[in-house]
Amino acid sequence: MGQILVLDQNMINMIAAGEVIERPASVVKELMENSIDSGATKIKVSIEDGGRKLISITDNGCGMDGEDLASAFEPHTTSKIKTSSDLQGISTLGFRGEALASIASVSQVTCTSRTKIQTGANRIEIDCGNKSSVSPASADYGTTIQVRDIFYKLPARRKFLRTANTEMGHIAEQFTRIALANGSLDLTLIHNGRELYRLSDKDHLHQRIAELSPIPSSGISENLIEAESNEKSLHILALMGKPSISRTSKKFQYVFLNGRFIRDKFISHAIKEAYRGLLEPNRFPVVFLFIRMPYEEYDVNVHPTKSEVRFYNANLVHSQILATLREKLLGTDLQTHAVLPTATGSREMQGINVPGNRSEAISEAMAEFFKKHRPVQTQEHFSYKPTQQIVSLRPCSRQIPERHTGAATVSAFTQTSQPVPEILSKQRKFMQIHDSFIVVQTDEGFVIIDQHALHERIIYENLCKRILHRAPDGGKNKLESQKLLIPQSFDVSPSDADLLNTNAELLEKLGIEVVPFGPRAMAIQAFPTLLTKADPLDFVQDLIDLLGRKDINPDGEKLLDEVLNMAACKAAIKAGQRLTDSEIEQLLRDKVNAESASRCPHGRPTTIKFSISDLEKQFKRT
Ligand code: ADP
Ligand code: MG
């Protein structure tokens, strides 16, 4: 006798529920989306015991009459699409007609609903797929769905539910996504009788972000930069976190497409690229991205929870997002502002010990910062250089001649015709401290510059300009190199030699000429002029290490970027290196011309701003 049976409908629903209903938060998502599709302007979500006991959602949407109420919980029933052509431009959040049937197959559901034209409401109850008949009830117009004891007949799934707090965390996340995507809705979230969020339809987007943001509310909205573009029927609104509020995961990247939260690898990549060089490795920006585009230009029917979509022109989406974000970031002052102790902090200064407070954390952070940036060479003496008054600086008409003392000189892209940088144009004062930092007076206060980090950024940008951009004559982009007086030889293993040979093109781009020099040796014959301050042998050795790294795709841009980073680091002025006044002036000039001088290529800040008003507050002068 055959072993294969046809499953009954209830079993089919339970199995299907596994796809859409993973945990209480999935129920909240599906039901809130239904409320939004029903045209509701007000939705109240009430949860008990992290959703394990009760999920109750009430909306003021269009409601359902008795007939619709009876069919809404059947599998594959929907009012949102009728023919296959409707699948081509789905404007509603739901369309698959499976959520209610799935939810009702794994829990006890009571649904009460009334349309605007009805005088009375109707109610239906479903217990793990067993439906009652529709009966009259009394309720305002709109719909209330109560979901009790999720998975109570499925112990294997119930077992996987986490603590009430964890489940509530997932619910709050779903609520947050929907609340951000639908700024004009009045939304409430209650847990065990306590109101967690009450969001008014009058909220400004920034305000809503600040209210919902799980990021400690250290002024998130002041740290968001707004960018907008509208081209080729693609509208983009981005609220981008400054690098100073970056995170250790992508969790704080919210992308919404026509009101739907989505995850998309092209978009993630565009965001990452937009922040290239502005963040330290392993840090991720906080971004809220709202995309509007015609429904026909993407397919939402690729994932059961519809959190992934397929763009028909993914390249356009990628390039426009990247351009919008990048342009704005590069045009914004991203300098790190020093955070000085606040009013409570000043109590500490007066000798009142406030353990574990914010100012303590800040002083620790500052101490840590200075510890990390301690000069690499030991200091003979702290030598105070008199502050230099620059009375009037003319545009630099010559490159500062490079010294051959082993110390890197500052010169990058100074051009004869460039205007006098603002930072130096008036009577400005600067001084180098600890042979590592430069303190510069500005109109608003003063800035402290990390000389190595800034010079590294300047050289990095210069290298990028020369290597990545097309040469004006259309020729190959490569760094200018010069022959070494005496070729420098070094021992190589066969695998190192192989690495150098397979990357011959990269070496050529860099202007490095390496030739065989005996059976197990090679010699460097030419080296890029821009990197004269780096030691060729040391550079090539590190280059071999980099080329051999398994995590870097040898053909990708990442390799070139890593190489340029390394080159910039090696050729830049070091901490602990004394600079002449004219070198400092040159560095400050080059800073003005750099694209994003506020961060070194690894994303660390190059400059920290201190405002005079903050100082005045600290010294109680205001
Ligand atoms: P889908 O949303 O994919 O259509 P669902 O199973 O989530 O499928 O819902 C089935 C149908 O029930 C919907 O198409 C809609 O007509 C109706 N419905 C569900 N929730 C509500 C609600 N809150 N208000 C009014 N109608 C609703
Ligand atoms: Mg739905």
Give the C-alpha separation, 16 to 18, whole Å.
5
Q: Which atom of ligand 1 is nearest to the CA of 142?
A: 24
Ligand 1 pocket test, pick from 20, 37, 111 with the greatest ligand atom count within 8 Å of Cβ, gives: 37
Give the C-alpha separation, 321 to 229, whole Å.
9
pLDDT for position 393: 28
For the CA of 80, the nearest ligand? 1
Q: Average pLDDT per run of 10 along the chain, which is 622 residues long?
A: 81 75 94 97 97 97 96 91 83 90 95 96 96 95 97 89 90 95 96 93 87 66 90 94 84 93 93 87 89 94 84 93 92 73 42 38 47 37 29 29 35 37 59 90 88 91 80 70 88 82 88 87 90 86 81 68 86 88 90 82 84 82 72
Question: Among 124, 123, 114, 142, which Cα is nearest to 39's?
Answer: 142
Question: Among 316, 253, 317, 315, which Cα is nearest to 279's?
Answer: 253
For 65, 370, 463, 481, the CA distances from 572, given in Å and listed in that order, are 73, 20, 12, 18
CB 33 within 8 A of CB 48: no
**Residue 96 CB–ligand 1 contact under 6 Å:** yes
**Residue 80 CB–ligand 1 contact under 6 Å:** yes
- Number of other CB atoms surrounding residue 138 within 10 Å: 9
Query: Where would I find the H helices in 572-603?
Result: 581-593
Percent of the chain as helix, strand, coil, to the nearest 5: 35, 20, 40
**Residue 277 CB–ligand 1 contact under 6 Å:** no
Q: What is the DSSP letter of 235?
A: E
- Cβ-proximal residues to 160 (8 Å cutoff; 6+ apart), any chain: 23
- Number of other CB atoms surrounding residue 56 within 10 Å: 18
CA angle 611, 612, 618 (to 5 degrees): 100
Q: What is the DSSP letter of 243?
A: G
DSSP 418-478: PPPPHHHHSSEEEEEETTTEEEEE-SSEEEEEEHHHHHHHHHHHHHHHHHHSPPTTS----
Which residues are found with C-beta within 5 Å of the ion, ligand 2?
A: 34, 94, 99
- Number of other CB atoms surrounding residue 120 within 10 Å: 10
**Residue 60 CB–ligand 1 contact under 6 Å:** no
- Number of other CB atoms surrounding residue 202 within 10 Å: 9
Ligand 1 pocket test, pick from 78, 98, 114, 144 with the greatest ligand atom count within 8 Å of Cβ, gives: 78
pLDDT for position 475: 59
**Residue 13 CB–ligand 1 contact under 6 Å:** no
**Residue 38 CB–ligand 1 contact under 6 Å:** yes
**Residue 122 CB–ligand 1 contact under 6 Å:** no
**Residue 93 CB–ligand 1 contact under 6 Å:** no
Helix (H, G, I), strand (E, B) or coil at 614: helix
Q: Which atom of ligand 1 is nearest to the CA of 92?
A: 2
pLDDT for position 448: 92
pLDDT for position 382: 27
Give φ, ψ of 605 to 5 degrees: -65, 145
- Number of other CB atoms surrounding residue 318 within 10 Å: 18
Give the C-alpha separation, 478 to 526, whole Å.
13
Pairing state of beta strands 186-191 and 42-48?
A: parallel
Which residue's C-alpha comes closest to atom 7 of ligand 1? 99
pLDDT for position 542: 85
